[in-house]
Amino acid sequence: MAAINISLIALYFEIWQGKEQIKHNYIPVLPRITSYFAYDTKQQKFGIYIINNGLGSAFVTQLRFFVDGQEVPDHI
């Protein structure tokens, strides 16, 4: 009886470890979007740069900019 209990406990931990491994392997491939404001003194231009630091593909479907809680309208 003890051997069956030990094997069931080992099976439970094996399944739990497999689920945790799948979760761990999924997290590193998520996209990590980072944005920052920069001013180029040589070209006298400024802008907001958006980069993907993650390994996964990031698809941008919409960009909205807010200043002091107010949305900035589109402009050329």
Residue segments in the chain with a per-residue pLDDT below the cut of 50: none
* pLDDT value for 62: 84
Distance CA 50, CA 47 (A): 10
Q: Does an H or E element contain 57, and which?
A: none
* pLDDT value for 56: 78
* pLDDT value for 76: 55
